[in-house]
Chains A and B, each alone.
Chain A
Amino acid sequence: MELSCKDCRYFLPVDVFRGICKINKEKISPDDAFCEKVEKISKCKFCQYYTSESNSLGKCMGHTLCYPDLVAAKCADFKWEIQK
Chain B
Amino acid sequence: MISSSGYPSIPLSVYQLKNRQEMSDHETNPAHYYGQAPGENIEDREAKPQPTSRAQAARELYFEAKSSASMEFPYWYTRRWEKLEGEIPVIRRAEALKSGFEHLTPVIYPGELITMGKACYLRGSYPMPWLSEAFFMAAGDQLYKEAQESGKLTADGFTTMGKGGGNVTKSIGNVISIAGKFGLRTEEMPAMIEIAKKWKDRSVDDIGHKYEQLVPGYKEKEALMRSVICMFDSGYTLPQGREVINYYYPLQFGIDGIIKNCEESLAETAGYPDMDRLYFFKAVIIMLEGIKSWIRNYADEARFLASLEQDKNQKTEYLEMAERLDWLSSNPPRSFHDALQLIWIFHVAVLNEDAISGLSPGRVGQVLYPFWQRDIKNGAINREKTLELLELMRIKFTELDCFASMGVVGGVLSGNTFNNLCLGGLQKDGASAANELEMLILQAGITCDTPQPTLSVLYDEKLPEEFLLKGVECTKIGTGYPAWVNNRVAMEFLLDNYGHEGLGHEEARAWSIGGCLETSPGSWMPLELDGEIHWIPGGSAPATSVGVHFLSLPKLLEVALFDGMDMRTGQRVFPSHGYILDSYEGIWQAFKDYFSRACHVLALTNNIQHDAWRKISPSLVNSMLKPDCLAKGKDIGQMGSRYNSTFNIESCGTANLVNSLASLKKNIYTDHLYSLEDYRKAILANFGYKTANESGSYSLVDQVATEDYHNWKKIHRLSLDAPKFGNDHPFVDAIMKEWEAWFCSMAHNYRSLYDQPMYACQISVSTHGPMGAVTLAGADGRLCGTTFSDGSVSAYPGTDRNGPYALFNSATCWNHATSQNSQLNMKIHPSVVKGREGARKFLELIRAYLRKGGFHVQFNIVDSRMLRQAQAEPEKYRSLLVRVAGFTQYWVELGKQIQDEVIARTEYEEI
Interface residues, chain A, with chain B CB atoms under 8 Å away: 6, 10, 12-18, 20, 22-23, 25, 30-31, 54, 56-57, 64-71, 73-75
Interchain nearest-CB distance for A76 vs B (Å): 9
- Tell me whether A16 and B168 are in contact (CB under 8 A): yes
Secondary structure class of chain A's binding surface, majority of residues: loop
B-chain residues with CB within 8 Å of residue A22 when the two chains form the complex? 305, 308
Please give the distance in Å from A28's CB to the nearest CB on chain B: 13
B528 at the interface (CB under 8 A from A): no
- Residues of chain B from 63 to 116 with CB closer than 8 A to chain A in the complex: 64-69, 71-72, 75, 79, 102-105, 107-110
Contact of B68 among A16, A54, A66 (CB under 8 A): A16
Given contacts A15-B122, A16-B184, A57-B191, contact A74 B109 (CB under 8 A): no
B616 at the interface (CB under 8 A from A): no
Chain B residues whose C-beta falls within 8 Å of the C-beta of A13 in the assembled complex: 68, 107, 120-121
Residue of A nearest to B195 (CB): A65
Q: Is the CB of A71 within 8 A of B105?
A: yes
Q: How would residues 161 to 182 of chain B score, 1 for a CB under 8 Å from any chain A CB and 0 otherwise?
A: 0000010100011110000000
* A-chain residues with CB within 8 Å of residue B168 when the two chains form the complex: 16
Assembled-state Cα–Cα distance A56/B174 (Å): 13
Q: Contacts A17-B183, A74-B103: A67 and B190 contacting too (C-beta < 8 A)? A: yes
CB distance from A80 to the nearest CB of B (A): 18
Q: How far is A68 from B188 in the complex, measured between Cα atoms in Å?
A: 9
A25 CB, nearest partner CB in chain B, Å: 7
B187 adjacent to chain A (CB < 8 Å): yes
Contact A14 B105 (CB under 8 A): no
Q: Across the interface, do B305 and A56 meet the contact criterion of CB distance under 8 Å?
A: no
Nearest-CB distance from A54 to chain B (Å)? 7
Which residues on the A side are within 8 Å of B187 (C-beta)? 56, 67-69
Q: Which residues of A contact B110 (CB under 8 A)?
A: 20, 25
Contact A14 B190, beta carbon cutoff 8 Å? no
B297 at the interface (CB under 8 A from A): yes
Is the pair A15, B183 in contact by a Cβ cutoff of 8 Å?
Answer: yes
Bound: A66/B183 CA distance, A:
20
Residues of B within 8 A of A70 (CB): 71-72, 75, 191
Number of interface residues of B (CB under 8 A): 44
Indicate if the CB atoms of B75 and A66 lie closer than 8 Å: yes
- Closest beta carbon of chain B to A1's beta carbon, Å: 12
Contact B121 A57 (CB under 8 A): no
Pick the contact of A71: B120, B123, B305 (CB < 8 A).
Answer: B120
* Given A31-B174, A74-B103, CB of A16 within 8 Å of CB of B183: yes
B121 in contact with A14 (CB, 8 Å): yes
CB pairs A–B below 8 angstroms (23 shown): A13-B121, A14-B64, A14-B65, A15-B65, A15-B121, A15-B166, A16-B66, A16-B68, A16-B184, A17-B183, A18-B64, A22-B305, A23-B308, A30-B174, A31-B173, A31-B174, A56-B186, A57-B190, A57-B194, A65-B194, A66-B75, A67-B187, A74-B297
Known: A15-B65, A56-B189, A74-B293. 11 other contacts (CB 8 A): A6-B185, A14-B65, A15-B67, A15-B121, A16-B66, A16-B183, A56-B191, A57-B194, A66-B79, A66-B191, A69-B188
B residues 182-230 in Cβ contact with A at 8 Å: 183-191, 194-195
User: Which chain A residues border B64 with CB–CB below 8 Å?
Assistant: 14, 18
Within the assembled complex, what's the spacing in Å between the Cα atoms of A15 and B125? 11
A71–B72 CB distance below 8 A: yes
**Nearest 3 A-B pairs (CB), nearest first?**
A16-B183, A67-B191, A56-B190
The CA of A14 and the CA of B64, in the complex, are separated in Å by: 9
Question: Is the C-beta of B275 less than 8 angstroms from some C-beta in chain A?
Answer: no
Point out which of A15, A31, A64, A65 has the most chain B C-beta atoms below 10 A from its C-beta: A15
User: Shortest beta-carbon distance, A2 to chain B, in Å?
Assistant: 12
A31 cross-chain contacts in B, Cβ below 8 A = 173-174
* B190 proximity list for chain A (CB < 8 A): 54, 56-57, 67
B845 interfacial contact with A, CB 8 Å: no
Closest to A42 in B: B105
The CA of A69 and the CA of B192, in the complex, are separated in Å by 12
Q: Collect the chain B residues with CB atoms within 8 Å of residue A16's CB.
A: 66, 68-69, 121, 168, 174-175, 183-185
Assess whether A15 is in contact with B191, with CB atoms less than 8 Å apart: no
Quick check: A73 and B66 within 8 Å, CB to CB? no
Beta-carbon nearest neighbor of A70 in chain B: B75
Report the bound CA distance from A13 to B70 in whole Å. 11
- Please judge, given known A-B contacts A69-B187, A71-B105, whether A17 and B120 are in contact too, CB under 8 Å: no
- In the complex, chain A residues whose CB is within 8 Å of the CB of B185: 6, 16, 30, 69
With A15-B121, A20-B110, A57-B194 in contact, do A67 and B66 touch (Cβ < 8 Å)? no
Of the listed residues A64, A67, A73, A75, the one surrounded by the most CB atoms of chain B closer than 10 A to its CB is A67
A41: nearest residue on chain B (CB-CB)? Answer: B105
Query: Which of chain B's residues has its CB closest to A4's CB?
Result: B174
| B107: A residues at CB distance < 8 A | 12-13
* Chain A residues whose CB sits within 8 angstroms of the CB of B293 once the complex forms: 74
Complex Cα–Cα for A66 and B82 (A)? 13
CA of A14 to CA of B168 in the docked complex: distance in angstroms?
14
Q: Is the CB of B305 within 8 A of A75?
A: no
Instruction: Give Cα distance in the complex from A12 to B121, angstroms.
Output: 9
State the Cβ distance, A62 to closest chain B Cβ, in Å.
Answer: 15
With an 8 A cutoff between CB atoms, is B61 at the interface? yes
Closest chain B CB from A53 CB (angstroms): 10
CB-CB under 8 A from B173, the residues of chain A are 31
Query: Which of chain A's residues have a CB closer than 8 A to the CB of B305?
Result: 22
Contact A17 B191 (CB under 8 A): no
Q: In this complex, what residue of B is CB-closest to A74? A: B103
B175–A17 CB distance below 8 A: yes
A21 to B308, CA, bound (A): 11
Shortest beta-carbon distance, B882 to chain A, in Å? 24
Kindly report which residue of chain B lies nearest to residue A12, judged by CB atoms: B107
- With A31-B174, A69-B185, A70-B72 already in contact, the answer to whether A14 and B61 are too (CB < 8 A) is yes
- B residues near A10, Cβ cutoff 8 Å: 308
Q: How far is the CA of A17 from the CA of B69 in the complex (A)?
A: 12
